[in-house]
Amino acid sequence: MNKIIKTQPGEVRALKIVRKLLLVCGILSSLLYVATDIFAAMRWEGYSYTSQTVSELFAIGAPTRTLVVPLFLTYSILMIAFGLGVWGSAGRKRALRIVGSLLVGKEVLGFVGTLFAPIHLRGVEGTLTDTMHAIVTGVGVLFILLAIGFGATAFGKRFRLYSIGTILILFMFGALAGLDGPRLAANLPTPWMGVWERINIFGYMLWVVVLAIALLRAQVERLQGVDTVKGK
């Protein structure tokens, strides 16, 4: 006979607390990334926030590489934790489990890109790591678009429209940044590349924060529903 394993109330509470902490990691990760980007740019004299990319902050030979790499790795760890939190909070929503898996997969790629596939500074001939960086980044963007697409179906109409709007922004400004790619490789001026790229990055991170808040609210509403039922 199969044994029925009963979960104790204390274990249930602990599990809910862990899920909340994992979801909060999504908010903390976005704050850490933005703070790192701004602080590192300030530390690099001559760095242009509007014309240079985030990847250049941890490029081979960049004066900010030793600062940015550990912080971006911490960001990836927080995002992996968030992805696990999304998975654990999915309930019967299969789309959210897919979102959680995609977020974890994207940050595994982030580890690879940060540690093993950095680009070189402008004016330095590229090597295999530059090619790997482009590939890892491209696959990571695909994971992001898929995550937002599946996530759009997880909540109501407003979140769905917001997610669709985020995808459109990523496509539009991603295309603008992509057009500057050959100029970056040729060490030519890219006056707005940093702006286009950061709109994309911060747009995605804002979506992560909104998703985290939506999932945290859903947990609170479920708890309130349970308490209401018990009180009857």
Summarised one tens digit per residue, pLDDT across range 155-185 is 989 999 999 999 999 999 999 999 998 898 8
168: containing domain: 20-217
Q: What is the DSSP letter of 63?
A: T
The pTM of this model reads: 0.89
Helix, strand or coil, per DSSP, at residue 156: coil
DSSP string, 128-152: HHHHHHHHHHHHHHHHHHHHHHHHT
Residue 9 falls within a domain, yes or no?
A: no
How many domains are contained in the chain? 1
Task: Report the C-alpha gap between 114 and 120 in whole angstroms.
Answer: 12
Residue 117 falls within a domain, yes or no?
A: yes
- Please say whether the beta carbons of 197 and 177 come within 8 A: yes
Residue 118 falls within a domain, yes or no?
A: yes
Residue 195 falls within a domain, yes or no?
A: yes
pLDDT at 12 over 70: no
Residue 158 falls within a domain, yes or no?
A: yes
pLDDT at 144 over 60: yes
Query: pLDDT higher for 187 or 172?
Result: 172
- Please say whether the beta carbons of 174 and 204 come within 8 A: no
* Mean pLDDT within 64-90: 97
- Please say whether the beta carbons of 55 and 121 come within 8 A: no
Residue 3 falls within a domain, yes or no?
A: no
Residue 11 falls within a domain, yes or no?
A: no
Residue 167 falls within a domain, yes or no?
A: yes
